[in-house]
Structure formats: C-alpha cells, structure tokens
C-alpha cells in the first residue's frame, strides 16, 4: 500500500496531485455552475470518486481535505436527516487531514471543520458548536490571514451570531483576497457569496 511521504516516487505523487486537482475542479463546477436540482446526485458521484482517491493515495492530506469538502457539500445539498451522517463523515476526514498537516491548503481543514460546527445543530442532534467554530476559524486566519475562504466563513459566522457589523471587515477582506491559481471558478463563486452577505447586512 502506498503512503504519501518524502520517499514517494515522483510519478505516484504527481498522479495523486492530478487526481486531487480534478476533484477540486469538478467540485467548483457542481457548487457554482450546477442547478440545485442536480447537485445532490452529482455530489454523491463525486464523493464516491473522492473516496477512491483517498483509498488509492492514503495519507495524502489534500485528498482527504477534498473528500471532506465534497462530502460536506453533499450533506448541505441533501439537507435531510441523512445529512447528519454525511457531516460526521466529513468531520472525521477534516480531522484526519489536520493530523497530517494543519497548515496545508492555507489551513483549509480548519476552515471546513469550522463551517460544519456552526452550520449544524448542537447536542443532542449533532456536534454543532459555535464557540468551537470561532476557535477553528481563528486558527485558519492565523495561517492564512488574507485568504478568501477563512475570511468569508468568519464573516458568515459573525452574521449567524448576530454580529453583522463586525462581519463587514472580514467579508470585504474576502473580496480583496489574492487570486488562487487554477481556482478562478471557486474564487468568483466565493466572492459572489461575500457580496450577497454584505448586501444583506447593508439592507438591515
């Protein structure tokens, strides 16, 4: 069984990285360019592919991260009782990615895990915890202070916790975040979400 590490053959590592890039690209298309009616089935198919990738390349932090992103997006699109089981699965994937490299992808696993914590209900229904979400996002921002994702999600959390004026600075920072090579669709989609949230704040 292959395990990602410094001794990995170059060809194997390149194959893992390319598989992850394909998952990322397909997630962005489903998330931002696919109708809501199609998203559940397409995320389900993509999650199966992502799982095959993490099986093929165990220990690859980015593969674990993207499987977590895809599974959590599938849960959000599904939006029923079965979503809670998917959210638990995503949580474990994010936690496993953090064990490998907490700083990878700009602390993205902290950001994704935080989003699960503030979007889900708390005990006894699920593991949602807004205080934990804030702590995780602060860790992500310490790693990637100008990043579009941690700033957007921290802004969204502040709105969710009735602190909209504090959210403005983070949402504006998300709009000004440096472009990520190869992430044009994701960057544009996230900025649209930040603008929409800012418009809601201003309309209050």
Domains of the chain, residue spans: 1-101, 103-204
Alpha-carbon distances, residue 147 vs 60, 105, 193, 200 (angstroms): 22, 10, 15, 22
pTM above 0.85, yes or no: yes
Distance CA 169, CA 28 (A): 25
Q: What is the pLDDT of residue 3?
A: 35
Question: pLDDT below 70 — which residues of the chain?
Answer: 1-13
User: How far is C-alpha 19 from the geometric centre of its chain's CA atoms?
Assistant: 17
Q: What is the pLDDT of residue 2?
A: 33
Question: Are 57 and 63 in contact, with CB atoms under 8 Å apart?
Answer: yes
Distance CA 88, CA 58 (A): 20
Q: Quick: pLDDT tens for 55-91.
A: 999 999 999 999 999 999 999 999 888 899 999 999 9
State yes or no: cis peptide before 124, omega within 30 of 0.
Answer: yes
The backbone region for 42, taken as left when phi is positive above 0, alpha when psi lies in -120 to 50, beta otherwise, is alpha
Distance CA 101, CA 6 (A): 14
Question: Are 61 and 4 in contact, with CB atoms under 8 Å apart?
Answer: yes
Q: Does domain 103-204 have CATH number 3.10.270.10?
A: no
């Amino acid at each position: 069984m292959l395990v990602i590490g410094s001794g990995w053959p170059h060809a194997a590592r390149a194959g893992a990285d390319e598989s992850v890039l394909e998952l990322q690209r397909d997630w962005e298309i489903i998330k931002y360019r696919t109708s809501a009616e199609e998203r559940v089935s397409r995320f389900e198919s993509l999650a199966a592919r992502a799982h095959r990738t993490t099986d093929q390349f165990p220990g690859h932090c980015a593969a674990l991260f993207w499987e977590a992103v895809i599974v959590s997006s599938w849960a959000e699109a599904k939006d029923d009782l079965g979503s809670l089981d998917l959210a638990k699965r995503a949580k474990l994937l994010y936690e496993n990615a953090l064990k490998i490299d907490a700083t990878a992808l700009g602390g993205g696993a902290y950001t994704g895990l935080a989003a699960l914590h503030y979007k889900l209900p708390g005990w006894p229904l699920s593991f949602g915890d807004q205080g934990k979400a804030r702590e995780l996002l602060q860790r992500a921002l310490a790693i990637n202070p100008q990043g579009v994702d941690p700033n957007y999600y921290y802004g969204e959390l502040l709105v969710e916790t009735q602190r909209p004026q504090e959210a403005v600075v983070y949402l504006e920072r998300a709009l000004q975040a440096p472009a990520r090579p190869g992430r044009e669709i994701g960057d544009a989609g996230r900025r649209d979400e930040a603008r929409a949230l800012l418009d809601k704040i201003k309309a209050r």
